[in-house]
Copies of this chain bind each other. A is one copy, B any other.
Amino acid sequence: MVNNDAKQLDTVFAALADPTRRAILARLASGEASVTELAKPFDMSLPAISKHLKVLENAGLIARGREAQWRPCRLDAGPLKEAADWIDHYRKFWEESFDRLHEYLQELQKKEKEHERKKRNRRRR
């Protein structure tokens, strides 16, 4: 079970590691589409697009209709949940580092204001 989950995560993350495949998923988020429709926005041959679709299908991220002529692709976001859950374990780490950056920038701003105030005071004297 653990190994299957790990393999599932491997194929999902590998499928997402390509801008064309991410763009195909983004397109399918607004409704199902045929291979020809999916190929249109990319400067790519149908076989090249089909190869990307195969990767997405193996990762369970898209499903395809069974009609011989018109086999529309549709988004299947289920496997993305596991990927999101895995990444979410690390949320506190990036939130902590952004908090530290925010504190550091506030500290810089405070110093900058203090510096401006002293400069103005010197001019007045």
Residues on A lying within 8 angstroms of B by beta carbon are 6, 9-11, 13-14, 16-19, 22, 25-26, 29, 75-78, 80-81, 83-84, 86-91, 93-94, 97-98
Contact = CB atoms under 8 A, between A and B. Distances in A.
13 contacts: A6-B22, A10-B17, A13-B17, A14-B17, A17-B17, A25-B90, A26-B89, A29-B90, A75-B90, A77-B90, A77-B91, A78-B98, A80-B87
Given A13-B17, A17-B14, A17-B17, A97 B84 contact: no
Quick one: copies of this chain in the complex?
2
A111 to B, nearest CB: 25
Nearest to A76: B97
Contacts of A87: 16, 80, 83-84, 87
A39 to B, nearest CB: 19
Complex A-B, nearest 7 residue pairs according to Cβ-Cβ distance, in ascending order: A77-B93, A13-B17, A14-B17, A77-B94, A13-B16, A81-B94, A6-B19
Contacts of A13: 13-14, 16-17
Nearest to A91: B84
Nearest to A86: B22
Nearest to A81: B94
Contacts of A22: 6, 9, 86
